Structure 1
C-alpha cells in the first residue's frame, strides 16, 4: 500500500460534528446526512479513508478510491455480482439480469445486447433525440419558466430509450419512472412492491412481443433469449429481468446528470456563455458533468473468498460497495477533483462503472446529455434559478435531483 492510500485515523468527534455520525466507521448510504453533505463526505472519504465501514443490517464495506474500485470491479471471480448490488437487500426484491450475474451468464447476455447500444447504433438515434429535446422545450419556453426535472429531465431519457431502443409505448412512462424511483428510494420494505409493478408491466409487454412478427430490435433479442453454459435456454423470468434492468438503467440515472448540468450552467454564467459561444466544447463539458455528478453512488459485490482491498481484510460473504461517485473525485487521478472544469483535457472517472459490468447504456446517455445541453443553449441561452427556490435531492445507491425551478 502506498502512503497516499493509507487509511488516516479519523477524529471521530470531528466527523460526528460535521456530518452527524462517524462516516468512516459507521457509514449508512441511506442516512439523510449523507444526502445533505454528499460532496463534502465523498471528498473526506476519498482523501482519508480508502475503505469505509457500515454497521447497518448485516454490515458492508464501501471502497472509495479509484485504485480500489477498479480492483474490485475488474475481479468478478473474487467479487461476485450474483448476490446483488444492493446492501441488505429487501426480501422479495427480484434480481436484475445481467447486472446481478457473473460470467458466463453475464457474458452470454452482453454479447447479444451490446450491438444494440454500440456507438455506431446509438449515433443513428441523434436526430430523433434532438427532435424530442425541442418538443419538450416547446411545451414551456413561452411561459418563461419550468420545473426542469418533471417537465424535461424525467421525460427525455425514457423517450430516448423507449422510442429508439425498446419500442415500448411512452404512454405509461410516468408510471414506470415513478415505480422505478420508489423502488430505489422508498423505505426498504416498500421497494419490492414498487419494482413488482415494473416487472409486471414489462413482462406483459415482452409476452405480447414474443408472439408478434420480429421487428429486428432489442426486444426481439431479449424475447428469443440466450443459451447458458449448461446448454439450457435462459428461463423466461431471466428474459423479463433483462428488460427490466435495461429500462431501470435507461430511465433512472441520466436525469440526475442532466439536471445537475443544467443547474450548474444556470448558476455559472461564464461556463454557460463559453458553451453558447463554443458549442464544440460541449462534448468535453458533458464528460466533466458525468464525472462530478455521477447518478450511481455505489453498487455492490459479494466476496467469494477471504481477501483484502487497500489493506482492509474482508471475509468470504462480506458485501462490498464500489464507490463510483467517490472514486471519480480521487485526487490521485484527477487534479483538483472538486472543481467543475468544463475545459478539462482528460476526464478520468468511474461514473459508468468498470470491468465486466460497465454501463451498457453509456453511449446513449452521453448522446442524450450532449443533445440536451446543445439544443437547450440554442433555444434558452440565458436562464437562472427561480428566486426563492433551490433544488432538492435524494440519495441511496443512486442519487437524484427531485426538482429544479428555472426562469428564462
Structure 2
C-alpha cells in the first residue's frame, strides 16, 4: 500500500513539501507515472499534478489555458512577490524574453567558458591535495553563483553565500517564513540594481534590466525590473547545483562510467544531458487553469491549480526506454528538465556549459574518487530539489590546476 511506503496516499493526498517525498523521491515519481496520470493534493487550497510526458508537454505549451501569471508555487505564501518573466504570460513574458534571450544564446554563453573553467580549477585547488571534500560546500554551491555573477550580472562573489541562504530558505524553509526569507534576496538585488542604474552604462545585462522594457508602449515598473533580476539570479544559483552533485554521486558509485568519461571525454556532453534528465533540479512548476479543460482524462475547472511534474515526465516509459536507469551512453534523451513551451528555461545553455566544464575539469584533476564510507547524500525537496551534502574521498596529492 502507498500509505505504508510513503505515509500517505500520493494519488489523492500528495504534499510536495512532505519529508517522505524527499526521502522516497524516485519511488514516488515512478508510482505516479505508472498509476496516476493526475495526482491530487488536499494541502491548503489543494492542487493537482500532471505526471506523464505528453500531458506535461501539452499543458506547458498551452499557456492560454495553463497560465503562469498567478505563480508557480502551490498555496503561494502570503507576501511572496511574483518573479518575472517566469510568473507571467505573453505579451509581458514575450517582451522580456525577447530582450533577455541574446545574453543567454549559445554564442554569448560560449564566451564564459574560460572564466568558468578557471573558477572550477580554483575551487578544486582548495581541496585537491586533502584527499577529501564535501562537494556541495566546497564546490557545487559555489560554482553556479560564480558563473552567473562574474559573467552576467557583476554582483560581488562575496555576497553569494548570503543570497544562496536566503533563496534556499525561501524555497525549502518553513512555509510561513518563505516570503520573508526570499524578501532578503529581493531587497539586496533591488539595492544593487538601483546602484547600477545610477552608474555610467556598461551595455550589459544589468543595464538592460535596469532600463526595463515596454509593454504596449509604456515602460514597465521599477518593481518589475527588480523582479526580473531576482528571477534570473534565483535560476542561476539555485538549480545547477543538484545536477552537478548528482553527476558526481553517480560517477563516485559507478566506477565503470567514471572510467569511460575519463578515457573518452568526448562522451561528456551526452552524459550531461542524461544527468540533467535523471537529477531534475526543477521538480514541478505550477499553472492556473483559465477555463474548463480536460486533460489526462480529468476535467479541470477555471481557477484550479496544476503542477507540471517535470521530474516525473522525464521518467515516463512511453517517452523513453528504461527511464529509471541512468545510462550515460543513451542515444536519445527526451526530457522536460528545462521545462517546455514559452517558459522553457532561459539558462539552459549556461547550465549545460557549466556541467560540461565541471565534469571535464574534475575528472581531469581527480579521476579516481568514491563516496566516503559511512556517509550518504542528503537532500531537500519541494518544487525544486537539491543535494545538501556529498562527501567524496580520493587519493591525496597536488594536481596541477594551471595545466588547462
What's the TM-score, normalizing by structure 2?
A: 0.97
Whether 2:371 is the aligned partner of 1:385: answer: yes
Shift of 1:236: 0.1
Alignment pair present for 1:333 and 2:310 = no
Match of 1:245 in 2: 231
Could you tell me how far apart the structure 2 residues matched to 1:308 and 1:20 are? 30
CA deviation vs aligned residue, 1:266-285 (integer Å, no higher than 9, x gap): 00000000000000000000
Matches within 5 A, 1:344-355: 344-355=330-341
Q: Are 1:163 and 2:163 matched, yes or no?
A: no
Superposed counterparts of 1:106-117, under 5 Å: 106-117=93-104
Question: Shift in Å at residue 17 of structure 1?
Answer: 1.4
Q: Secondary structure at the match of 2:9?
A: coil
Of 63, 67, 77, 1:80 maps to 67
Q: Which runs of 4+ in 1 moved over 2 A?
A: none
Q: How does 1:36-185 map to 2 (within 5 A)?
A: 36-185=23-172
3-state SS of the aligned residue for 1:402?
Answer: strand
RMSD: 0.6
TM-superposition CA deviations, 1:247-277 (whole Å, max 9, x none): 0000000000000000000000000000000
Which residue is equivalent to 1:6? Answer: none
Secondary structure class of the residue paired with 2:126 = helix
**Aligned mates of 1:341, 1:387 — CA distance in 2:** 25
Query: Any gaps of 5 or more consecutive residues in structure 2?
Result: 395-404
Unaligned stretches of 5+ residues in structure 1: 1-13
Match of 2:251 among 246, 254, 265: 265
**For each residue in 1:54-98, what CA deviation from the matched residue of structure 2 results, as whole angstroms up to 9, or x when unmatched?**
110000000000001011100111011000000000100110000
**1:126 CA displacement:** 0.6
Structure 2 match to 1:4: none
Q: State how far apart, in whole Å, the 2-side matches of 1:394 and 1:307 are.
A: 33
**Count of paired positions:** 394
Distance in 1, matches of 2:153 and 2:267, equals 31
Distance between the aligned counterparts of 1:278 and 1:47, measured in 2? 36
Q: Output the CA distance in 2 between the equivalents of 1:167 and 1:187.
A: 31
SS of equivalent residue, structure 2 residue 373? coil
Deviation at 1:293, TM superposition (A): 0.4
Shift of 1:47: 1.5
